[in-house]
Amino acid sequence: MAEDVDDEALRELAEVFSALGNPLRLKMLKVVSTSDRPLHIKAVAKLTKTRYALAYKHVKTLEKAGLVTIYEVGRSRVVAPRFPAVFDRAVSLGSEIVVKK
């Protein structure tokens, strides 16, 4: 399987790993993945104890990597995970790598 991965797929994969490589973005992904409904970005900022502008910037990075979806509800922006199980899978893989160090 790994031999079949082309350069474009590797670039996209690197973008996902780069987005996951920030503790605040991981925390945000956890918050939206464990919520039973989509959250306003303002709520994500509050739950992660950060400013709205910084939360928005990080959520946009997660969106660009294809990990979350942002959509507008009225005048507010709401964020939802594209793949709710991806946070658990990322933590599982990361934990496996950390333990084998």
pTM greater than 0.75 (yes/no): yes
pLDDT the model gives residue 86: 87
pLDDT the model gives residue 100: 67
pLDDT the model gives residue 1: 60
Compute φ and ψ for 88, nearest 5 degrees. Answer: -60, -40
pLDDT of the chain along its 101 residues, tens only?
A: 677 778 888 899 899 999 999 999 999 999 999 999 999 999 999 999 999 999 999 999 999 999 999 999 898 899 999 998 888 888 888 888 887 66
What CATH number is given for 2-99 in this structure? Answer: 1.10.10.10
Domain boundaries, the chain: 2-99
For residue 34, the Cα-to-chain-centroid distance in whole angstroms is 12
Nearest to 34 by CA among 84, 90, 89: 84
